[in-house]
Structure 1
């Protein structure tokens, strides 16, 4: 076994803030030589991301938390293009904390002032959009949410684009009118021609990406929910909310609850289960769907349709 290489604690702090990444320049400033970097790479403790950028996390990327993987993509682009670069597109949305993004993001950044950079090693160097506004988040410069959406939506699939825009409105990061301005600004961009309809499907009431996906699945298959964030009074008289709701012919409610491991802690899932039991005992039929079911087209909508048909058949 080789001798363990001690590294400055400041380096670990910087790397942690950059989703595990570090640059040659940062290493040099902290007294970590090229020889030490080479030994870390040879040992497998570090890996090379691109020229001058290294990943200090030895765990496989696919096992890391989705948020950390998204942030890693953003920092990879930022560090590869240099200190003046601006993170853009979906990577900028990840830094803003927007939900619904793909887990595996293409690293994207741009240089201001009309300067060109070249894409390499899977890192996309974009042109700096004329008029683009930027802001500082977590110590790095990123496109503002509106411009990040202009750049990202033309490159996203429907479920992801709608979920992202749902979350932006739900969090109050922009208004519906401002989202309409984003749509207008995106016109003419490559890819937007097949995505205009996404903007009309956005609903600010959705509280998680799986809720957005389940809603779209039900719309696509002819069982659109009657209401979102359904108010229901439980056993103790407290008004609770269900994610998606439909009305039975006898006046009761069918509620679909979307349980998301990524967007709920175990404590939140446990609290949800108790809340759902109270709701079921009073006035509603509750269906639970986990991520795998929601991600399989037709699963939520077919179960909702079958339940509505079964319960309504006695009231015709």
Structure 2
């Protein structure tokens, strides 16, 4: 009869919870789990080998599956190569930047760019990292450097969404983004991205809003205002609109992009419905789209049809404008 394994120590499970369900061999040993015991967990199917010297002990609960997979990839590289620094998309994920593709390849570099035997599925890059930060305790390239490393291999929608998110969260400034673009000038693959960097806008609050904006730009109808404040007749603000266009007849076309959690609870549904009812007035034309609509590029053509019918044309909009609804 197989020997009964002792329970996995709670402190080790707590470590795994902070690391997307992953633990290293070294962390197992620190918490009293021997190599033989770890191997026995793998044989029983309790754990899986994520990479050489790294185990997946189970899911980290409370996160969206796609977010979990991204973070798991980012953490895996650092655990598989002690002393290494997360780069590119993995560094951006660790910093909390939103907009990465669903599938993220684990990647790290040694700070000096030195060679080391790779540990699949982790990509070991040879990049000299002069500056680094430690979000959540994981060494990672800075946000500007990580963008330089990641953007050349991305498509436009993901790249701009990452830039927007970094700006929105104030993880870098517009001047730092400009400097990052300049520093990337000689990187392979950067030439096709030159038009993307200046189009980044920190007013976008989600990747879906970025995709919707890009769709509208491509359709020849860039928004007049992002995050337009809406106030009642007394001037009290009660909403902000994702994308807005001011129509020649004095009305406004208001476009809302629904995130994946917008209807997550009954309270959210009620609040969303009440807010929606308040912004639907004779002064407004309200349209709502899903994140999937935004990704598919369906927002721009639909908005263009509305604007053509209304006789909209591009004109300067004064800064700080607030839409005041008289009803």
| TM-score of the superposed pair, with normalisation by structure 1 | 0.88
Number of equivalences: 308
- Check whether the contact 2:109–2:127 (CA below 8 A) recurs between aligned residues: yes
**1:284-299 correspondence to structure 2 within 5 Å:** 284-297=284-297, 299=298
**2: distance between equivalents of 1:263 and 1:122?**
35
What is the alpha-carbon root mean square deviation over aligned residues?
2.6
Q: How far did 1:278 drift? A: 0.4
Long gaps (5+) in structure 1? none
Instruction: Give the corresponding residue for 1:46.
Output: 47
Asked if 1:66 corresponds to 2:66, the answer is: yes
Structure 1, residues 125-165: CA drift from partner, whole Å, max 9, x if none?
A: 111325x3111221121111111111111122101111111
- Choose from 131, 134, 138 the match for 1:133: 131
- Which has the larger helix fraction? 1
**2: distance between equivalents of 1:181 and 1:312?**
40
Q: How far did 1:103 drift? A: 2.5
- Check whether the contact 2:241–2:255 (CA below 8 A) recurs between aligned residues: yes
- Choose from 193, 196, 199 the match for 1:198: 196
**1:113-128 correspondence to structure 2 within 5 Å:** 113-128=112-127
**1: distance between equivalents of 2:242 and 2:132?**
35
Structure 1, residues 212-232: CA drift from partner, whole Å, max 9, x if none?
A: 100000111122212211233
**1: distance between equivalents of 2:22 and 2:197?**
35
Residues 275 and 213 from structure 1, CA distance in 2 versus in 1: closer, same or farther, beyond 3 angstroms? Answer: same
> Comparing 265-274 with 248-257, which one deviates more in the overlay?
265-274
**2: distance between equivalents of 1:270 and 1:235?**
22
**2: distance between equivalents of 1:204 and 1:107?**
27
Query: SS at the partner of 1:281?
Result: coil
Long gaps (5+) in structure 2? 313-327
Query: SS at the partner of 2:280?
Result: helix
- Check whether the contact 1:167–1:206 (CA below 8 A) recurs between aligned residues: yes
Instruction: Give the corresponding residue for 2:244.
Output: 245
Residues 66 and 37 from structure 1, CA distance in 2 versus in 1: closer, same or farther, beyond 3 angstroms? Answer: same
